[in-house]
Amino acid sequence: MGIWLGLDVGAVRTGLAESDPTHSMAFPVGTHRTAEILLYLTSHYREADLAGLVLGLPKDLMGRETEGSQHARTLGEKIHSLWPSLPLHWMDERYTSKMAAQAAHSAGAKSRVKKDKGMLDAASACLILDSFLTQKNRP
């Protein structure tokens, strides 16, 4: 059955999240340099262990794709060429970074944690993946 892998692609860092084996929950895994993400993915995951991929798609406030969207799509194509049999889904990632920062603040995180962009990128990937899993599991 495999797990779902969620990615929040940024120019510098990519946040990662994984689902549980039942595809009901998402967990932040960490961040890695976007320039090295393909190497990281191929060294840490096997296609046979994955159910699919969910990538965040940056959009502006009007819902239009941005320059970041093209960057994410380019990376998505490269990942898909590595694992062509895996389904790849795109999720609107508007507000995920802000939601991750607000969640850290609400949880009482120290200011250094709230300013840790890597931690927020992983949390954003988790929100993206969780959104997908929620939609996928809706009756």
pLDDT digit of tens for each residue in the chain (139 aa)?
799 999 999 899 999 999 999 999 999 999 999 999 999 999 999 999 999 999 999 888 888 888 888 999 999 999 999 999 999 999 987 655 655 555 555 555 555 554 556 577 888 899 899 999 998 887 7
Q: What is the pLDDT of residue 114?
A: 44
Fold designation for 3-136: Nucleotidyltransferase; domain 5 (3.30.420)
Check: CB of residue 129 under 8 Å from CB of residue 19.
Answer: yes
Kindly report the number of other CB atoms within 10 A of residue 37's CB atom: 19
Domain extents in the chain: 3-136
Q: Which pLDDT score is estimated for 61?
A: 83
The Cα–Cα gap between 46 and 11 comes to 25
What pTM was estimated for this model as a whole?
0.83
Chain position carrying tokens 């997908």: 132
Rounded Cα distance, 15 and 13, in Å? 6
